[in-house]
């Protein structure tokens, strides 16, 4: 599976710092929300699994194409940028390690990776099924093979993609900015450990 390394880009976050709820409404930073449960945190720190994240909240709905110019693609909303920032903050605060960060070619996924992790590689197999339905099953097979390979002990493989792909592979529907933790099993659809909601990542 070949991934293309991309350069970094800077995303400016609003100041002062805001936190956003699943409704997408911005407001003053609330009291910290709960950290992951002890059991979930133990699983995350144990590593050796894949954390498959859906891109954070976007500025609009609809289907776009990953090769469209930036001005024509769905991009992260201000709230989505904050969600991505919480991903990175949670990794740092809880001592989590990403051995690799792979994203869909869509810019909203790449931008989220830049904000959260500072670097990424594009993985074509993560291309949104709704945007490019042709070859969807082949892409799903590639992702299942990737998930079936455990990352190094103590680290997590991070995938950033789309709801349509996550649902096709795991049968699980998650909100924007959430993710699922999957152990290295060939049949990912029966191996989902738990849903990781970004709101529970606050440090």
Average pLDDT over residues 85-92: 90
Residue 52 φ/ψ region, left for φ over 0, alpha for ψ in the -120 to 50 degree band, beta for the rest? beta
CA-CA distance, 151 to 45, in Å (whole number)?
A: 13
146 pLDDT higher than 80: yes
19 pLDDT higher than 50: no
Q: Note the pLDDT of residue 201.
A: 62
CA-CA distance, 194 to 179, in Å (whole number)?
A: 9
Which contiguous run of DSSP H or E holds residue 122? strand 121-122
Q: Note the pLDDT of residue 46.
A: 87
Q: Domain 37-57+72-201 adopts which CATH fold? A: Rossmann fold (3.40.50)
Give me the residue spans of the domains in the chain.
37-57+72-201
85 pLDDT higher than 50: yes
48 pLDDT higher than 50: yes
13 pLDDT higher than 60: no
24 pLDDT higher than 60: no
Tokens matching residue 108? 């909203």
CA-CA distance, 94 to 36, in Å (whole number)?
A: 9
Rounded percentage of the chain residues whose pLDDT exceeds 90 = 50
Nearest to 183 by CA among 53, 90, 55, 46: 46
């Amino acid at each position: 599976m070949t991934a293309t390394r991309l350069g970094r880009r800077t995303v400016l976050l609003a100041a002062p710092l805001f936190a956003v709820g699943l409704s997408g409404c911005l407001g003053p930073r609330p009291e910290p929300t709960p950290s992951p449960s002890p059991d979930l945190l133990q699983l995350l720190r144990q590593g050796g699994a894949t954390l498959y994240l859906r891109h954070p909240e976007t500025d609009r709905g609809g289907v776009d194409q990953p090769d469209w110019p930036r001005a024509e693609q769905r991009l992260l909303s201000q709230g989505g940028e904050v969600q991505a920032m919480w991903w990175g903050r949670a990794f740092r605060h809880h001592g989590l390690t990403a051995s690799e960060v792979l994203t869909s070619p869509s810019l909203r996924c790449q931008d989220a990776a830049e904000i959260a992790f500072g670097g990424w590689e594009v993985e074509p197999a993560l291309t949104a099924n709704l945007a490019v339905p042709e070859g969807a099953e082949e892409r799903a097979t590639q992702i299942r093979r990737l998930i079936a390979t455990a990352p190094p002990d103590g680290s997590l493989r991070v995938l950033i993609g789309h709801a349509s792909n996550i649902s096709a592979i795991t049968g699980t529907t998650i909100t924007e900015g959430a993710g699922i933790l999957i152990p290295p099993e060939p049949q990912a659809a029966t191996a989902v450990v738990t849903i990781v909601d970004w709101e529970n990542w606050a440090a």
